[in-house]
Chains A and B, each alone.
With several copies, the nearest count.
Chain A
Amino acid sequence: MREKIAIGTAAAAAALLANNLYQMFMVLPDEALQGAIYRILFFHAPAALVGMIGYFVALTFSILYLSSKNFLHDSLAASVVEVSLVFSVVNLVTGSIWARVIWGIWWTWDARLTSALVCVLIFFGYLVMRRAIEEPTQRARLSSALCIFGCVDVVIVYKSIDWFRTQHPGPVLDFRTGGGKMDPAMAHIFWLNFLAILLVAVALVLVRTRQESTAREIDSLRRLAHTAA
């Protein structure tokens, strides 16, 4: 059943992406100031948003694990972090490329960029630590705690453009500015592509969770064997 949901989500994501790509390159005109390169926005910002949403989902699962001690929540948290990390890296890389074109540099240490990088480092550390702990309960317990601490930084990433004057542009998306900063046609494609990327992320999480729970089933079967003996 879960497999079918995963396949379904992946298929929907692929269809939506194809449509979006067509719209982006064939329908929308070049932007006035930036030319063709602005289209990277359609991947850059959604990747960042999906990543950040993911960390909060992982936060939720971590808290759930701590209250329920249900390992399913732990493996969900871990797979969500893994997938979010991928999208955060996509955000960094696309941002870097964009920066190279628009600003002429790959990187600068402004608040948004710095905090985004730190966020990647924190959750990379999360994965490294998980791998270093063998005992399942200990791993779940400690990584849940780390996830909660890490999410504080996600807030900083999100708010950094409000708090500091940065090289990185300030808020433009409607839900933060109250609307009006983005062309409606662009905003439409933007949100469609956000949805597509979100679906990709969900599909990836489903696959990862399935792997994790299979591993857990094998584990508990082995326990059962011992119990019988």
Chain B
Amino acid sequence: MTSAIELAGVWKFYGDYAAVRDVTLNVEEGSCCALLGRNGAGKTTLLRILAGLSSFERGSAQLFGVSPRQAHAGFLGHGIGVYEDLSARENLHFFARVAEVAQPESIAAEWLERVGLANASDMLVRQFSRGMRQRLALARTFLHTPKILLLDEPFTSLDDRAIAMLSELLVESRRRGATIILSTHQLREAMVIASHVALIENGRLRHAGERTEAMLDDPGLLYRLHA
């Protein structure tokens, strides 16, 4: 199996605090890796490094052999990355054009349908509820069918149906060969979707491997093993 994502000995400092410490991680092409860890462990920092949004001091990071800045992964961060004063449709049009998608209009309409915002497509984002925003942000991220998806707590504020919709999106993305890393605190959902898990604690990678049956039955297992 080829590695889609390769991190080797990466350190990231904020001032003199090391938020990521000597992390070496390979994610196979086509797998879905759940990045787990307590608040402040360094999940967001790691994902931002992979998205090319954050510099790091030591080590190397590569996505399909190129630097994160060149890989243009689909990235969904804590901030959701859509404009408050544009409508849902305008947002998707804009980001579709930015991503150089072939038919921005029809793709945008299709995605509005998929994430259940077809009725609200001409409302401004500032009029959206929190969950509707998150759905729009998901559409924005998946829109250009990126080969690598970096999702930071994508389940936030989603209702049961939207969670099912996102799970389906993830399964479908894997089927077309995309590689996924997602961080989350919703262990149960994560275990169902993930093929691999990684646990990060105080910036250090404590575990990385396949998601086992035992984890599926007891989502909190990993935390307890490394307590």
Give yes or no for direct A-B contact (beta carbon below 8 Å): yes
**Which residues on A are within 8 Å of B, measured CB to CB?**
134-137, 219, 222-223, 226-227
Question: Which of chain A's residues has its CB closest to B203's CB?
Answer: A226
Pick from B11, B17, B18, B55: contact of A137, CB under 8 Å: B55
B55 touches A222 (CB 8 A): no
Question: Which of chain B's residues has its CB closest to A219's CB?
Answer: B16
B21 within 8 A of A: yes
A227–B18 CA distance with the chains assembled, in angstroms: 7
How many residues of B are counted as interface, with CB atoms below 8 angstroms from the partner's CB atoms? Answer: 9
User: B138 CB to closest chain A CB, in angstroms?
Assistant: 28
**Which residues on B are within 8 Å of A, measured CB to CB?**
11, 13-18, 21, 55
A135 touches B15 (CB 8 A): yes
B16 touches A226 (CB 8 A): yes
A223 touches B55 (CB 8 A): no
User: A71 CB to closest chain B CB, in angstroms?
Assistant: 11
Contacts of A136 in B (CB 8 A): 15
Question: Which of chain A's residues has its CB closest to B13's CB?
Answer: A223
A226–B21 CA distance with the chains assembled, in angstroms: 10
A134–B15 CA distance with the chains assembled, in angstroms: 9
Contacts of A222 in B (CB 8 A): 16
Main secondary structure on B side of the interface with A: strand
Contacts of B15 in A (CB 8 A): 134-136
User: A202 CB to closest chain B CB, in angstroms?
Assistant: 32
Contacts of A223 in B (CB 8 A): 13, 16, 18
Question: Which of chain B's residues has its CB closest to A222's CB?
Answer: B16
User: A82 CB to closest chain B CB, in angstroms?
Assistant: 23
Contacts of B21 in A (CB 8 A): 227
Question: Which of chain A's residues has its CB closest to B55's CB?
Answer: A137
Contacts of B14 in A (CB 8 A): 135
A55–B216 CA distance with the chains assembled, in angstroms: 63
Contacts of B13 in A (CB 8 A): 223
Contacts of B11 in A (CB 8 A): 227
A101–B17 CA distance with the chains assembled, in angstroms: 58
Which of A135, A136, A227 counts the most chain B CB atoms within 10 A? A227
Question: Which of chain A's residues has its CB closest to B124's CB?
Answer: A134
A selection of 16 A-B contacts at a CB cut-off of 8 Å is A134-B15, A135-B14, A135-B15, A136-B15, A137-B55, A219-B16, A222-B16, A223-B13, A223-B16, A223-B18, A226-B16, A226-B17, A226-B18, A227-B11, A227-B18, A227-B21
User: B155 CB to closest chain A CB, in angstroms?
Assistant: 31
A219–B13 CA distance with the chains assembled, in angstroms: 11
User: A222 CB to closest chain B CB, in angstroms?
Assistant: 4
User: B9 CB to closest chain A CB, in angstroms?
Assistant: 12
A219–B57 CA distance with the chains assembled, in angstroms: 14
* Minimum-distance CB pairs A-B, first 6: A222-B16, A223-B16, A226-B18, A226-B16, A223-B13, A227-B18
A137–B13 CA distance with the chains assembled, in angstroms: 10
A227–B20 CA distance with the chains assembled, in angstroms: 10
A226–B19 CA distance with the chains assembled, in angstroms: 10
Contacts of B16 in A (CB 8 A): 219, 222-223, 226
User: A226 CB to closest chain B CB, in angstroms?
Assistant: 5
Contacts of A227 in B (CB 8 A): 11, 18, 21
A76–B14 CA distance with the chains assembled, in angstroms: 23
